[in-house]
Amino acid sequence: MMGTPPTQETPMQLELSAEDAAFRDEMRTFFTTQVPQEIRDAVAARRELTKEQVVESQRILNEHGLAVPHWPTEWGGRDWTELQRHIWNEELQRANVPIPLAFNASMIGPVLAQFGSQEQKEKFLPKTASLEIWWSQGFSEPDAGSDLASLRTTAVRDGDHFVVNGQKTWTTLGQYGDWIFMLVRTDPEVKKQAGISMLLIDMTTPRVTVRPIELIDGGHEVNEVWFEDVRVPAENLVGELNSGWTQAKFLLGNERVGVAPVGSTKRVLAQAKEWAGDQLSDPMVAARFAELENELLALELTALRVVAHSSDGEPHPASSVLKLKGTELQQAVSELVVDLAGPASLASGAGDESELPEWTRRATPVYLNLRKASIYGGSNEIQRQIISRTILGL
């Protein structure tokens, strides 16, 4: 399925079957012609997308059956091979198309398809795929980040409702959220993993408060969310009471499979070569590019091996390798761009009227924002523990 190793002059290409090559060309044509150029230009320039841009892009994909291909077919999925899913993901990133909103497509959607009641599936899955509902993730708390099982937000049964009290933090894009999927403690007397449940909460419910957290790059991407005696219908419990840890592990496993953005990192590195200009004549700069290109090639080949061994639908343990190395390379490329911009990278507050190229003004905000990449989806320290246990047998 894979071709001969690439030369330095030519990037690696897959030797696809005629059917898969036609599939790749179909994806490439669709992504480059059907998603508005304005949105794709914003992604290429590494700008923060507006809510409207994210919604518009995903709805276009969903209308053509391309938003949630990994879901069950009855809920909008496609009965694709793992290789086809990989091609879809790579071509989407290559074309600067926004990846479908992870909270919807990769997190709560698969969880509801696997664990939700029929009523929950019918109520939520179509609107989740189309982004008619924008989901937020309510997992992390001030004292429960990587040690997620230590969460303290409580949900106490009161008749036909649960009463929720507590705080969630680092809620990405929570300012746009319509609903939030939450891990809550429903039994404080048992082992901490055994007393957790998952609830779905309408964020317009009284006494749900979203407060912004200003980031070091000046953006408003994350929030803290407070719950004070919030009444949630018991029908919004996902699965059985106290089964939330099983659902959380399922969600995080699916999240990590696509968390190594090989396609977009390759694209940014190729852009960086153009931005570098005369700096490429510096042997040290050229060596950094060569090293990153080689490591990205190795990561891409690893991703293909994971694809080849994930046909049973379960995340392969090597997905932790992808997450670990993928985010390290993503950060390394962003650091290279800052170094290429030099002093101009300090002009991150400059407006569009600045004479400095946009890529230099975006260099530092992107670099700072991507510090999170080695934390979300399970910190890289946690990934090393997973790798040591499940792959190395230590």
Domain boundary among 57, 75, 100: 100
Domain that holds residue 349: 259-391
Q: Tokens standing for 197?
A: 């449940």
Q: b/e per residue, 345-374, with b = 16+ CB within 10 A?
A: bebbeeeeeeeeeebbbbbbbbbbbbebbb
Dist. CA 15–CA 176, nearest whole Å: 42
Q: How far apart are CA 87 and CA 1, in angstroms?
A: 13
270 and 187 share one domain: no
Window from 240-244, 331-335, 351-355 with minimum mean pLDDT: 351-355
> For the segment 122-155, what is each residue's pLDDT rounded down to a tens digit?
999 999 999 999 999 999 999 887 678 899 999 9
* Residue 55 within a domain: yes
Say yes or no: 201 and 273 in one domain: no
**Which CATH number do you get for residue 159?**
2.40.110.10
Q: How many Å apart are CA 53 and CA 40, to the nearest integer?
A: 10
- Mean pLDDT for the chain? 89
For residue 221, give both structure tokens.
């991407």
Global pTM? 0.86
> Does 384 map to a domain?
yes
Which of 378, 132, 112, 135 lies closest to 257, judged by CA? 378
pLDDT digits (tens, 9 = 90+) for 290-309: 999 999 999 888 887 777 66
Active site residue 52: no
Q: Are residues 70 and 185 in the same domain?
A: no
Same domain for 270 and 384? yes
Q: What pLDDT, on the 0 to 100 scale, is given for residue 86?
A: 86
How wide is the angle at C-alpha 29 spanned by C-alphas 27 and 35, nearest 5°?
A: 90
> Among residues 91, 141, 255, 300, which one is catalytic?
255
pLDDT band, very low/low/confident/very high, at 71 (cuts 50, 70, 90): very high
pLDDT (tens digit per residue) in 245-295: 999 988 876 655 556 688 899 999 999 999 999 999 999 999 999 999 999
What does the DSSP 8-state code read for residue 103?
I
pLDDT of residue 335: 97
**Same domain assignment for residues 271 and 382:** yes
Q: Are 192 and 270 in a shared domain?
A: no
Domain annotation covers residue 359 = yes
Residues 386 and 283 in one domain: yes
**Residue 116: inside a domain, yes or no?**
no
Tokens of 16: 């696809």
In a domain, 91, yes or no: yes
Residue with token string 């929950």: 120
Per-residue pLDDT at 216: 76
Number of domains in the chain: 3
CB 182 within 8 A of CB 168: yes
Give the domain-ending residue among 193, 215, 243. Answer: 243
Same domain, 385 and 271: yes
Cα angle 91, 102, 259 (rounded to 5 degrees) comes to: 65
User: Could you tell me if 239 and 272 lie in one domain?
Assistant: no
For residue 56, give the CATH number of its domain: 1.10.540.10
Domain endpoint, select from 189, 216, 243? 243
